[in-house]
Structure 1
């Protein structure tokens, strides 16, 4: 009998540990605190397994660890969860064990429910030692309740069995509370870290916007001040043109940052990919005379999206490729058609390390001495908003290829 008691109680403890791990895994995958419904579901599964592997002391008196998941869920998630689990325990006890002494089970768990409901709010604010002491006292009380009724109904229990029946539930309760507290602490730390990272990104973004907008506005302000004292009409016109250019530059910076707030295009257009890429190359050629261009483009291939955003995406990648070849090199753009469209932009520039490839597209990460890294991030966001993928292959000092995969637009049939 001793082996049977020990085996069943240890199995019960294993089910409780697995339930706590399932709780932690749920949070790890979803990044959300489990809802009361999820808590009730996980606790019900654990309680069911504990009931199925309970040990019978005497007719109608059974010993198991079903009360531990009941304690944990009740104290950490409140009276509603506690009341539902109390009903669940009584029903499972009736369905799988029987109606013998069910009135005592109802009395035992109802009294415990009232105590847990009264102390659940203060429990979360209490120190870990107080939490463990409280749960140990409740667990010991319920264990004694079972043993007393086992004695009343003349159950044959040896001294060794009494030790197992008292010590194992208490030890299991202490370990379970320690694991629950560790999971709760990790969840709080992760939430704090996430908030800190968001604040850091906001701080960097604000600093970057301030830097990039202030410079052109400062130059525009300077030209306007000079214009106020300038009498030569030709110079005034030149100062006005330079001021407007600075304001346009600041406007473009703001538009680039607005890209990060748009996850989906406002207005879907059918974009002629070849025409857009040719126009971009013709625009950047005069600014990159040290780079030779080659391209293989396919006619009549369309994608769905925003023309302005698509051009910005391809333009940012091409601009990065040119800037990675300060001593000159070759830049090629190739379209490959399969089930989807793949645009490959290849340069013979400085290339990237494995670590830099992994961080490709992260905000504020750049391989250049000057820059914010937001151009590549904007390209990444635009591609994903078009339900596409972006990948990069690179070798240090051998160049980089960026692959942009997009769904082709459905052909519009005439008539």
Structure 2
């Protein structure tokens, strides 16, 4: 009997010790979580909040009582898409979402970045841990940086315009003075005419770059657009012993776009290639992917060095002797306004390739 009593006493003591150890472990875990500047909350398999650290409460403005055993969809994720968290509850995979939105208890939405990670025990998912941080100040800093870059670009553009237009104007002014005192006027008129055309060209490119981008997106066959460009520039190419080739995956590749502007992009790229080459081939390849169309404009001309390649697309920077660089800058802007991408790769002595992607559908 005494032996059994001793066993019961020891069992109770061990139970208390386990409870003390668990309590100590829980406090240590909570202290660790509370020391983090990022917000942390854990969800069980039902998607209910099981714990949250101090930063999570401070950032969202909710109390432990308001969050505990509640779904985030009824508190700080109210009316917000949280698909990534639900997917992690299903497969346990780590996911990071940038520039998402949470909802404070006072009704204010704020930008956040969060990572959800599955809690795995004995090869089974038992919950999800979400770590997040408020990126309001970071977004403000990014916006200030963007405004600063735009102001800097505007300054560079203004300086470039001043320089590019002043040169022909100086020539025109000088030759007008010579015309007054000379009988040999035909040559002077030719020079003045050329310089005026130069000013008109710069003004037209600036106007295309600066005017509001009207949304006139309709469905067109990209096959027809590129063949029109080929027909337009083929004569100029033949005069320099250049063959313009096209390779299409299909004779009908529908794209939603502003036809005039997309056509201008390909005119700029092919014309630039022709002017850079003495002879050779220019190949335009078009293929479709699940959600976009891919177009490459490839030439086997002299190529562009890495130093110069890094500056492609800058206003008034051109690889051509009399180029303004505005044609490529305009092309970049047109593709951007179509929610597409444009990139360039080049090897000196081998040629240059422009890669353009256009989405199959354009919003707006």
TM-score of the two chains, using structure 1 as the length reference: 0.48
Equivalent position SS for 1:318: helix
Map Cα deviations across residues 65-91 of structure 1 (whole Å, 9 max, x no partner).
64x555x54xxxxxxx8xxx3xx4285
Partner residue in 1 for 2:199: 250
Distance in structure 2 (CA, Å) of the matches to 1:223 and 1:400: 40
Report the more deviating stretch, 7-16 or 195-204: 7-16
| Paired residue secondary structure (1:349) | coil
Pick from 201, 206, 225: which aligns with 2:177? 225
Relative distance call for 1:316 and 1:4 in structure 2 (3 A) is same
Distance 2:21 2:31 in 1: 15
Looking at structure 2, the residues matched to 258 and 4 of structure 1 have their Cα atoms a distance apart, in angstroms, of: 72
- Runs of 5+ consecutive residues of structure 1 not aligned to the other structure: 23-41, 55-64, 74-80, 97-178, 410-415
Contact conserved, 1:360 with 1:376, CA < 8 A, in 2? Answer: no
CA RMSD of aligned residues (A): 4.9
What does residue 397 of structure 1 align with? Answer: 349
Unmatched 5+ stretches in structure 2: 1-18, 43-48, 71-132
Q: Which has the higher helix share?
A: 1
1:293 aligns with 2:254: no
Query: Does residue 265 of structure 2 align to residue 316 of structure 1?
Result: no
Give the alignment of 1:246-395 within 5 angstroms.
246-261=195-210, 264-265=213-214, 267=216, 272-283=225-236, 289=240, 291-296=241-246, 305-306=257-258, 308-325=260-277, 328-334=278-284, 336=286, 343-352=295-304, 359=310, 362-363=313-314, 368=319, 373-395=325-347
CA contact (8 A) 1:321 1:347 kept: yes
- C-alpha separation in 2, matches of 1:93 and 1:309: 52
CA contact (8 A) 2:276 2:302 kept: yes
Change (3 A) 1:268 1:92: closer
Q: CA deviation at 1:342?
A: 5.6
Q: CA deviation at 1:379?
A: 1.9
User: How many residues are matched?
Assistant: 269
Distance in 1 between the 2:256 and 2:276 partners? 30
Paired residues of 1:273 and 1:303 also in contact (CA < 8 A): no
Measured against aligned partners, the alpha-carbon deviations of 1:156-197 in whole angstroms (never above 9, x if no partner) come to: xxxxxxxxxxxxxxxxxxxxxxx99xx888667655544443
Structure with higher strand content? 2
Shift of residue 330, structure 1, vs aligned partner = 0.8
Cα shift at 1:332: 1.9
**d(CA) in 1 for partners of 2:332, 2:271:** 15
Task: Give me the whole-angstrom Cα distance separating, in 2, the residues matched to 1:383 and 1:397.
Answer: 28
- Bigger Rg, which one: 1
- Report what 1:174 is aligned to: none
Confirm or deny: 8 A CA contact 1:277 1:311 kept in the other structure.
no
Offset, 1:347: 1.9
Give the 5 Å matches for 1:98-177.
none
